[in-house]
């Protein structure tokens, strides 16, 4: 009983993940897991952590709700990993207090807009093999980018060959709109839909007029047949 009581008395935030170092900086808890050959985000990070360093590891993915229980987080450093996939709900629960999110020097080609939509943190996205397309442009329009690293967001691939190798900021400043093709596709789809509705309306009107004309013809023939039926009586 004394052993179980001791376990219950240990606060959840006092544990520290294996291969990590837990310290305090100015009264705020920091979990340091740099260069520990980690392949995924540790599951047992203390709930009261404020600064989390996971840089220089081998993490390949940020799954949904990876940090949801870490409501005190202000800074996350995920730079220098091998991240290729970021789920749409990867940073759910961090919107309020997160100030800095470092995703630089990974293998990220694209990132879901919803993953960053609610974040107010300053983002570092430099030195990734970005695919410059409409989705990335929309992310950059809404995200808060670190001004010191924004010029290092370079187009590794792009729908237009002349954009490859150029900083995305330079591409956008030159007036290139990566979403113009999507807008044209949307406009064509709307025109096709409107034409379909218009054709249905015309067909309905034609059928309605034809049906009324046939009814009027039938009503017009009936009076002419009545005199012939009454002729013998006269």
Strand partners, 51: 30, 75
> Strands 28-32, 21-25: parallel, antiparallel or unpaired by DSSP?
antiparallel
- CA–CA gap between residue 20 and residue 34 (Å, rounded): 8
pLDDT of residue 195: 47
- CA–CA gap between residue 41 and residue 59 (Å, rounded): 7
* Fold of domain 21-176: 3.80.10
CB atoms within 10 A of CB 36: 16
pLDDT of residue 118: 82
Q: Angle CA(94)–CA(101)–CA(160) in degrees, nearest 5? A: 115
Q: Angle CA(163)–CA(166)–CA(172) in degrees, nearest 5? A: 75
pLDDT of residue 191: 45
- CA–CA gap between residue 172 and residue 43 (Å, rounded): 39
pLDDT of residue 25: 79
The pLDDT tens digits along the chain (234 residues) read 443 333 333 343 458 999 999 999 788 999 999 999 999 999 899 999 999 999 999 999 999 999 999 999 999 999 999 999 999 999 999 977 899 999 999 999 999 989 988 898 999 999 999 999 998 998 888 889 999 888 899 999 998 899 999 999 899 888 899 898 544 333 334 444 454 555 566 666 667 677 676 666 665 555 554 455 454 544
pLDDT of residue 218: 60
- CA–CA gap between residue 55 and residue 24 (Å, rounded): 18
pLDDT of residue 3: 33
SS3 29: strand
Is 0.85 topped by the overall pTM? Answer: no
Rg (alpha carbons) of the chain, rounded to whole number = 33
Q: What is the DSSP letter of 160?
A: S
User: Largest alpha-carbon pair distance within the chain?
Assistant: 122
pLDDT of residue 28: 94
């Amino acid at each position: 009983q004394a052993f179980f009581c001791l376990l219950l008395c240990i606060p959840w935030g006092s544990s520290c993940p294996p291969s990590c170092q837990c310290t305090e900086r100015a009264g705020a808890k920091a979990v340091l897991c740099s260069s520990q050959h980690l392949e995924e985000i540790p599951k047992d990070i203390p709930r009261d952590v404020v600064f989390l360093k996971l840089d220089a590891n081998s993490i390949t993915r940020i799954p949904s709700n990876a940090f949801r229980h870490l409501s005190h987080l202000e800074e996350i450093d995920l730079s220098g990993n091998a991240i290729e996939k970021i789920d749409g709900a990867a940073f759910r629960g961090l919107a309020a207090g997160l100030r800095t999110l470092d995703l630089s020097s990974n293998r990220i080609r694209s990132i879901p807009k919803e993953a960053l939509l609610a974040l107010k943190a300053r983002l570092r996205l430099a030195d990734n093999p970005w695919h410059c397309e409409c989705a990335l442009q929309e992310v950059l329009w809404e995200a808060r980018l670190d001004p010191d690293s924004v010029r290092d967001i370079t187009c590794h691939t792009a729908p237009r060959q002349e954009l490859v190798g150029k900083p995305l900021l330079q591409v956008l400043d030159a007036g290139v709109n990566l979403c113009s093709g999507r807008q044209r596709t949307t406009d064509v789809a709307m025109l096709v839909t409107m034409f379909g509705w218009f054709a249905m309306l015309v067909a309905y009107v034609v059928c309605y007029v034809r049906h009324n004309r046939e009814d009027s013809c039938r009503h017009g023939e009936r009076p002419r047949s009545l005199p012939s039926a009454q002729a013998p009586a006269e």
